[in-house]
Structure 1
């Protein structure tokens, strides 16, 4: 079979097709590092092409299979919360389908993020849509998880086309389920490395892209743990990432403090944690250990790997397009025996180092320890920086993601409760608040910001958040011990929450009531902190 690879990237489509015996007669891509990687691994010499401007008359003839992965950025929910420019992204879908319509191959397959499935379905049904003119192609549209098809990562993607999906699904019986641990352990050997998917072997001296980076420092570790296990908006993730299951999706952007970064316990340095190497990420994507990545930086390599399609799946597409039955299917490890190292080894690129300086307006927003209720409700400490300097504030949010309400903790809660909490027990707690204020007085709001941006030492925002969390827990214990009418807390916090600005009745009030006492403790501590003279004294002194 003869194939054309559109939006070819680093060769995820081409590798799988060639391992299955399909001839890829033309590949098209615009990003030079991806082109260099594609050419370096496949012996090609194609140059950069703006596929949107590609003349249909310049395409080769006699094509049996058209494949490709148009850019997904504008369709991805991770891009500005799903607010990408859909009309811009549609241009590449239109171009891909134009090529299919022009070449009239026997089979074609398009890969993209799951959201594209609904874009395609809507486009083929809506006469006013840019895709409507391609409705006669009548593709089958599936959203699959590549971990079900041999890749060691959970990666959900839309696959559209007229390939024999039933054959691809029939191959699954021959595909072992691989895990993150399979990859990590395979490349950690001190002797010969055996590819965890394709079975090809290399001496450890020939293994590239496996340079170890510095372990996460205390701040990075805290930020990763907080972002994954106590994110203020999204659902919780495991920390560290478990090795006994397929990895989470390998992404194109992966900083040392990203919620999306895969972080594992460092086997070589007990008690420490690290991100994955480029080689580990590539293996999770299904690229063999022989594959080289020709780029000038760690971040470029991470980007090209994260944007690729796993060749494990493209191999299945090629087999199905050729009518290979499940009985005649050749497993990955058998096909992988044909793999060899390219003649040119990729340059060594040092991993990213830990951050040493940050912008003066570096943002901070993390949930308060002891006041975490998972999704739908949270107390957090956040900052703001303007011409007058830094400011810090405790904020309370509740409700679903599409209708989040905020209670303004401006001292009014304390005023309303002053009469009820004027007893001896709370008077004792006021002494604890005085002590806490003395701890804060060792620095200033700007001093906390300077610590956060690594411009000074001293009390940092995580220490402030921990202090407020400890106070909340101490106050909660006091309320549980001394509050004679606990049931009165529920209607009180409901009334406070109901006053939050918004259109229509406030959502999520049942959860607020269910956690009435801890919410009440959070209200009080937030009110106290937000109205401290500590916030304004440094400005008066300045």
Structure 2
């Protein structure tokens, strides 16, 4: 059986890629960010790619393009549900309401399945006052006679060399099929991979070296994971190392596996703002965390260029190395700026045309393709059994 899917808030296309690998035909995507949409178009040339917000997609337009899709998948912006977002300051994020936009699309095109992905914070996230975002989403789909189940999945259990737990809300009009989803996907669990599987066959880089263009592999693949990442690829792209100051290089040189900024001595610590003085009391737990090659990596977030230190080289990860930790094959090329200044600084300088998602952002925001593949394969199995 062949299923077709629509990917909302698609970003670069991690969810779409996993579904495609599972055997699902991806009819199209909706993504507001122009850089992420450009990456999506580069890698899914035969799909309809709408570079606009989901709110701008009218019911009429949706029905005209996607009335026959079997799956609506989507990961609405998670910042408002994340402890690293506005929530840490006690503020609600207006983007939380986009979960209801996903519900609107599902009710409009009426797919066989809907799959919403988000961080754990969505379980307690709010729209306003005491109104819970997830409860509102579930109630909206229930009005359209959809049943739903909420599952928490760990990416490391599905072939991703990274610890990354996410919440998935699976909805269907077939209650019996829905009840079988979690038992079936649990059967797809694999042995966890150490992060070392991602490295070793890629070009060795010093800070500031590398290119976005495709370059040949310098050595043979050293394990099955590297062979999988190389499939259909003639070489490596998006492999550019960040430049580092002498002070940063000295700091990185003393950070051991699994250690981070909080573990270095005061001479390598954080400087006081607008001062050359060392702030002996300032420590950021996650900044400059050197990956332990013997374990799955810590989660890869949108700002991983300031967090993950290469396990063996004294530099932060390249975009390609982050993509490997997410399970993107080397044939998947990311477009747009490699890094970007903060939105506030860009707006202050009037450079609003440069605002968007960098390659690092696109990678960190994505659903890991191997996890999405496991979900797609499970949905196909449900269709065969029910």
TM-score, reference length from structure 1: 0.52
Give yes or no for the alignment of 1:208 onto 2:244.
no
Show CA shifts across 1:133-152 (max 9, x none): 44453421122221112111
Cα separation, 2, equivalents of 1:34 and 1:195 = 29
**Equivalents in 2 of 1:36, 1:133: separation in Å?**
32
Match of 2:185 in 1: 168
- 1:62 shift after superposition: 2.0
Instruction: Determine which of 299, 304, 308 is the counterpart of 1:262.
Output: 308
Asked whether 1:22 is paired with 2:34, we answer: no
Q: Which runs of 5+ in 2 are unaligned?
A: 172-177, 204-216, 265-280, 341-357
The answer for the alignment partner of 2:118 in structure 1 is 112
Seen in structure 2, the aligned counterparts of structure 1 residues 84 and 312 have a Cα distance that, compared at 3 Å, is farther
**Residues 1:143 and 2:156 are matched in the alignment:** no
Partner of 2:163: 154
- How many angstroms does 1:76 deviate by? 1.2
Q: Which of 354, 364, 368 lines up with 1:306 in the alignment?
A: 364
- Which secondary structure state, in structure 2, belongs to the residue aligned with residue 279 of structure 1? helix
Residue of structure 2 aligned with 1:227, choices 247, 253, 261: 261
Aligned equivalents of 2:298 and 2:104: distance in 1? 34
Q: Superposition pairs for residues 319-334 of structure 1, below 5 Å?
A: 319-323=377-381
C-alpha contact 2:117 2:166 (8 A) present in aligned 1 = yes
Contact in 1 for aligned 2:261/2:289 (Cα 8 Å): no
Q: Map residues 473-492 of structure 1 onto 2, 5 A cutoff.
A: none
Aligned partners of 2:93 and 2:242: how far apart in 1?
A: 40
Q: Deviations over 1:221-261 (max 9, x none)?
A: 54887633378687689953211111111121245xx4xx1
What CA distance in whole angstroms lies between the structure 1 residues aligned with 2:133 and 2:36?
32
Tell me the residue number matched to 2:199: 184
Question: Does 1:281 find its partner at 2:322?
Answer: yes
- State the Cα distance separating 1:196 from its structure 2 match: 2.0
Taking the aligned partners of 1:244 and 1:4, their CA distance within structure 2 comes to: 37
Please name the residue that 2:300 is paired with: 250
Secondary structure at the counterpart of residue 190 of structure 1:
coil
Gaps of 5+ in 1: 268-272, 326-542
Relative contact order: is structure 1 or structure 2 higher (C-alpha 8 Å, sep ≥ 6)? 2
Q: Distance in 2 between matches of 1:54 and 1:283?
A: 33
Q: Any idea what SS the aligned residue of 2:95 has?
A: helix
| Aligned-partner SS, 1:86 | coil
Q: How many residues align?
A: 314
Tell me the CA shift for residue 215 of structure 1: 5.7
Shift of residue 191 of structure 1? 2.4
Which of 123, 131, 147 is 2:132 aligned to?
123
Classify the secondary structure of the residue corresponding to 1:66: strand
Q: Tell me which residue corresponds to 1:53.
A: 56
8 A contact 2:29–2:49 mirrored in 1: yes
Task: Indicate conservation of the 8 Å contact 1:229/1:238, yes or no.
Answer: no
Using structure 2 for the length normalisation, give the TM-score. 0.71
2: CA distance, partners of 1:237 / 1:33: 26
Q: Secondary structure at the match of 1:208?
A: coil
What is the 5 A alignment of 1:51-90? 51-59=54-62, 60-80=66-86, 82-83=88-89, 85-86=91-92, 88-90=94-96
The aligned runs of 1:363-442 (5 Å cut-off) are none
How far residue 219 of structure 1 moved from its aligned partner, in angstroms, is 4.3
Residue 115 of structure 1: how far off its partner (Å) = 0.5
Query: Which residue among 334, 338, 343 is the counterpart of 1:293?
Result: 334
CA distance in 2, matches of 1:287, 1:202: 11
Contact 1:13/1:314 (<8 A) preserved: yes
CA distance in 2, matches of 1:298, 1:80: 22
**Secondary structure at the counterpart of residue 125 of structure 2:** helix
RMSD between aligned residues: 3.4
C-alpha deviation, 1:200, in angstroms: 5.0
